[in-house]
Structure 1
Amino acid sequence: MSHALKHLLIGGLIIMNLGNPTAALANENDLKLTIVNPKTLYDPSPNGYSTAVITPRGARVAYISGQGSQDSTGALSPDFAVQVEQAYANLGAALDGLGAKPDRVAKLTVFVVDHDMSKLEVLTRNVKKMFGDALPAQTLVPVPKLAVDGMLFEVEAVAVVD
């Protein structure tokens, strides 16, 4: 594996081009995601997610590694709500680094240590704050532990980029 590819993989960000590699996107609307919440299924939007999201043909897709709850100094709050807010701020910074906005996120996977129903309000509030009505598809995975001791929440994303 090349040195540059190792750094790309270790850095936690992989961007790939889907469809025709020579196709140029004409404008901002060419990157618009299509949210699908079939009427025959439960409406998940009050809970902060969509059933499915379709990315546009020919768009480049970025896979953003799990963003934990450490602040820029590496500090980690013991409070679940503070960790969730910080992790979404970190996701926002990763999106900024790609030149993307939250409305370009097609899919989230969130990992919650010792998940119980009391945590859903915090999760829903934060995802709606970041994404508004452009709610991505989302999966919540309860886990016993994350990579760093004391980490209670992590979020990874798939986004469309220019």
Structure 2
Amino acid sequence: MAIATYLNPESMLSNPAFTQAVRVPAGMDTLYIGGQNGFDSTGQLGDTLAAQAEQALTNLQACLAAAGATIENVVKWTILVVDGQDVRAGFAAFQRVWGQRPNPPAITVAKVAGLAVPGALVEIEAVAAIPG
């Protein structure tokens, strides 16, 4: 069973980096992963948006693995980037992690004045659908 149906209406922009809408069928478990920043397991925070985004994605993958899922189970990302940062560095980190996999998740990116953790430049949360 496919984890979801990925919808890109012909009347809308098609982009290989994201899907416009994702429909998750009944029978799936839903995993909500809270916002992850770029802290590693020792509490060190990267000094660039790219480094923090890569670590945040590593942290998200650890959460997915703990639930028996992988990055392919993610159906929605929300990415918060501190104003003044170039979001392209974060997108590049995502592309390195996602690679050439088909059916990228839906995505929301927002610039914010700041995040709860001093020094954090990015925070990424995810919703994943896991076969039940």
Q: Which residue number in structure 2 is paired with residue 39 of structure 1?
A: 10
* RMSD of aligned alpha carbons: 1.5
Pairing partner for 1:58 from 13, 16, 27: 27
Q: In 1, distance between residues paired with 2:96 and 2:9?
A: 24
Please tell me whether Structure 1 or Structure 2 has the larger radius of gyration of its CA atoms.
1
Report % sequence identity: 36
Query: What TM-score, normalized by structure 1, do the two folds share?
Result: 0.74
Q: In 2, distance between residues paired with 1:103 and 1:56?
A: 16
Residues matched between the structures, number: 129
Greater per-residue helix proportion: 1
Pairing partner for 1:100 from 69, 85, 90: 69
Q: In 1, distance between residues paired with 2:95 and 2:52?
A: 16
Q: In 2, distance between residues paired with 1:136 and 1:62?
A: 14
Cα pair 2:39 2:45 within 8 Å, conserved: yes
Q: Which residue number in structure 2 is paired with residue 133 of structure 1?
A: 102
Query: What TM-score, normalized by structure 2, do the two folds share?
Result: 0.90
Cα pair 1:69 1:86 within 8 Å, conserved: yes
Q: Which has the higher contact order (CA 8 A, sep 6+)?
A: 2
Which letter does structure 2 place at the counterpart of 1:42?
A: L
Structure 2: runs of 5+ lacking an equivalent? none
4+ long deviations beyond 4 Å: none
Deviations 1:31-58 (A, max 9, x none): 522111111101132xx21101111222
Q: By how many angstroms is 1:115 displaced? A: 4.7
Secondary structure class of the residue paired with 2:92: helix
